Structure 1
Amino acid sequence: MGQVNFYHLTHSTLEQVVTNLASRALEQGWKIELRGRDLARLDQLDQQLWQMGEASFLPHGTAGGPHDALQPILLTSTPATDAREAVMAVHGAEIDAAESETHKRVWILFDGNDPEAVQHARIQWKALTGAGAKAAYWSEESGRWEKKAES
């Protein structure tokens, strides 16, 4: 069973956290599904990832192409159909409790400056931990990442 990590972003940008977590996952040979709810916001994230520069380049593609299964990071609004080791949920994308059992890692990234995003993350925490998923809550309110809660 994998771990669900909730990341409460207050200092770092979404792109910074995605780059950091995805880079470490890719080093382990994992394929990642980066799931969002809104295709326009996923397209924007896609463009931002391409513009990050060579030093922080993350090989990725948007779902719906002929080579989805080959993409190390697949940006999608629906669960990927191929076997991926990790799922990263952004912009309020839903995660099912079963996904914590079928993936080595699940990350839920949410904007701590958006009350609606914080409330949605609380609902996800209760649903996932209530279903028996192992979860950890990470906060950067002190300026660095600290684990604040664990189920």
Structure 2
Amino acid sequence: MTEILFYHLTESTLENALPGLVERSLSRQWKVVIQTGSQERRDSLDNHLWTWSDASFLAHATDQEPHPQEQPVILTTGEGNPNGATVRFLVDGAEPTNVAAYERLVLMFDGHDQMQLEQARAQWKLLKAEGHTLTYWQQNAEGRWEKKA
């Protein structure tokens, strides 16, 4: 059964929080696909992941580049899984599909964006009604993740 995690951003931006979570996935030898809500957001995250830290970068590509199957991380706006990822991150309102195809599904949403909050609540209800086991993580004042449900 797919592990489904909701990450509620309250103290940092997606750009600050996402790279660390992706790095943890890669350290477990998991391939990752990140689905964004728009091409502009995909391209913005593409640029950000190359420069997010002075000490490292996250090797990745977008779904528009050749040989996606060779990439550890793919950024996409679509529903496909071009690199055979076991973990899928959904950001900026991207909708989960084909949940069973992944070991882990991570839905990240901005707690300061009412539309994203409402969408996350709706996704929680739908996935719960489908019988999935869900966990909910929220940032504390220091920006660390705390399991709330």
In 2, Cα distance between equivalents of 1:11 and 1:31 = 27
Aligned-residue offset at 1:111: 0.4
1:78 equivalenced with 2:68 (yes/no): no
Q: Unmatched 5+ residue regions in structure 2? A: none
The one-character-per-residue Cα deviations of 1:78-117 (angstroms, maximum 9, x if unpaired) are 1224421000000000003x41x22111100000000111
Which letter maps to 1:74? Answer: I
In 2, Cα distance between equivalents of 1:85 and 1:117 = 24
Aligned-residue offset at 1:47: 1.0
| Partner SS, residue 135 of structure 2 | strand
Aligned-residue offset at 1:50: 1.4
Name the residue aligned to 2:94: 93
Segment of structure 1 superposing worse, 23-32 or 13-22: 13-22
Contact 1:46 1:75 (C-alpha < 8 Å) held by counterparts: yes
Name the residue aligned to 2:12: 12
Name the residue aligned to 2:129: 130
Q: Percent identity?
A: 39
Segment of structure 1 superposing worse, 50-59 or 39-48: 50-59
Aligned-residue offset at 1:141: 4.0
| Partner SS, residue 55 of structure 1 | coil
In 1, Cα distance between equivalents of 2:42 and 2:107 = 15
Which letter maps to 1:114? Answer: D
Segment of structure 1 superposing worse, 111-120 or 41-50: 41-50
In 1, Cα distance between equivalents of 2:55 and 2:75 = 21
Name the residue aligned to 2:37: 37
Segment of structure 1 superposing worse, 139-148 or 43-52: 139-148
Name the residue aligned to 2:111: 112
| Partner SS, residue 128 of structure 1 | helix
Which letter maps to 2:126? Answer: A
Give the structure-1-normalised TM-score: 0.91
Segment of structure 1 superposing worse, 12-21 or 67-76: 12-21
Contact 1:19 1:56 (C-alpha < 8 Å) held by counterparts: no
In 2, Cα distance between equivalents of 1:91 and 1:72 = 21
| Partner SS, residue 55 of structure 2 | helix
